[in-house]
Amino acid sequence: MIHLRLFFIVVLLSSIGVVVCYSLSVYPVEFFGYGEFHFFIRQFFVACVGILLMWAIAQLNPDSSFKKIGWFLFFASLVLMIGMHFLPSSLVSSAGGAKRWIKLPSFSLAPSEFFKIGFVYFLAWSFSRKFGMHTPLSLKDEIKLFIPYFFLFLVAVVLIAVLQNDLGQVIVLALTLGFMLLFAGGSLRFLGLLFLITISVGLIAIITSPHRIMRVKLWWANAQDSILGLLPQTWAQSLRIENLPEPYQIYNATNAMYNGGFIGNGLGNGLIKLGFLSEVHTDMVLAGIVEELGFVGLFCIVLAFSAMIFWIFKIANRIQNTMYYLFCVGVGLLLAFSFIINAFGIAGITPIKGIAVPFLSYGGSSLLASCLSLGIVLSIARKAKI
């Protein structure tokens, strides 16, 4: 059955995440004096809780539980994202001066990870009521209908990109919003208009932040030789920028993948984790995986991710309820865009965004939120016509 296949793929990816977390967390264990199994135990515990949570939610009837869970995730995470900025520093954890996690006993909660699921639920609920899937609208009517969603997205931009200094998550939400609108019946011309607006807002967010400008410079320092090599020499000379900073993260990540080769150096035998990149087990996990398991290992992971997205969309395609359909599509888009953006950043194709790889990167909130969203999808699968 579809839902069992999807369940076991998630279990497989979560298990791989636990194993590579143990293998790649050598440097922080030594540097901070943690026990050898510190990160392994924490990730293993969260994986077990997430899998049990996913299985429990999968047993629920979506007709009675879907809206309750969706609205709770949306409003609770929104309140927590606003409220944590008023909490004392002893109750929150920061990254780059921005508050992102609420400290709980033995656990730090990132509300933005759960807000993404609530955001997808809200869009599925609202799009199914307003766009109607099959009713053609003029561009003017689409713009009028979209105005409330635009303001909601601006709230997300302020809470995540501005207050948490996390532009990557906003990019994932923007892409998910645009494609969900298309699946709900929006037109390509309206999607193109939204794309132009999003690019404009993104450029403003980049040029007003020295941190983001530096990330773009680091990316271009690594990528300009490859890109400019495709252009005529006169054009390439005019576009080349000299004296750019050394692309430390991208250089070490791509070097690790090169060293991994086809079959890798073997689990536990990677070098990138030995201080070249201090937290490979988090956002840079794919680079560490390729170095130790090679492109064969990466191919297997991509295959598993592709199968997971395939089954999510297949479930969505067999659901008659429009709201269920759009939610499954939204979850599939969230997971796919998170993986693709992270992989492109590690490979140097795009600037690094600091987005976790679903099920693989170390982090309890990301793993729990991903398992929770898949649990809802598995619950909806009970209504699929298989």
CB atoms under 10 Å from CB of 272, counted, come to: 23
Q: Distance between CA 173 and CA 120 in Å, rounded?
A: 9
Q: Cα 173–6–359 angle (5° rounding)?
A: 50
Please give the average per-residue pLDDT across 328-344, as a whole number: 94
Q: pLDDT band for position 290 (50/70/90)?
A: very high
- 207 SS3 class: helix
* Contact by Cβ (8 Å): 335, 309: yes
Q: Distance between CA 69 and CA 54 in Å, rounded?
A: 13
In the chain, what percentage of residues exceed pLDDT 70? 89
pLDDT at 193: 81
pLDDT at 246: 59
The yes-or-no verdict on residue 101 having pLDDT over 60 is yes
The yes-or-no verdict on residue 132 having pLDDT over 90 is no
pLDDT in tens, 10-37: 999 999 999 999 999 888 888 778 888 8
Determine phi and psi for 271, rounding to 5 degrees.
-105, -25
Amino acid found at 6: L
* Contact by Cβ (8 Å): 378, 331: no
The yes-or-no verdict on residue 92 having pLDDT over 90 is no
Q: Which residue has the higher pLDDT, 375 or 278?
A: 375
The yes-or-no verdict on residue 90 having pLDDT over 80 is no
Strand partners, 108: 103
Secondary structure in 3-state letters for 8-32: HHHHHHHHHHHHHHHHHCHHHHHHH
| Alpha helices for the chain (secondary structure H) | 2-24, 26-32, 38-58, 62-83, 111-130, 139-156, 167-183, 188-207, 210-228, 233-239, 248-260, 285-317, 322-346, 364-381
CA gyration radius, the chain: 21
As a whole number, the mean pLDDT across the chain is 85
Annotated domain spans of the chain:
75-207+245-356
Q: Distance between CA 132 and CA 185 in Å, rounded?
A: 7
Q: Which residue has the higher pLDDT, 100 or 58?
A: 58
DSSP for residue 86: G
Secondary structure in 3-state letters for 253-291: HHHHHHHHCCCCCCCCCCCCCCCCCCCCCCCCHHHHHHH
Q: Cα 280–47–367 angle (5° rounding)?
A: 60
pTM of the model: 0.88
Q: pLDDT band for position 271 (50/70/90)?
A: confident
* Contact by Cβ (8 Å): 129, 335: no
Q: Distance between CA 189 and CA 85 in Å, rounded?
A: 38
CA nearest to 305, candidates 62, 53, 13, 71: 13
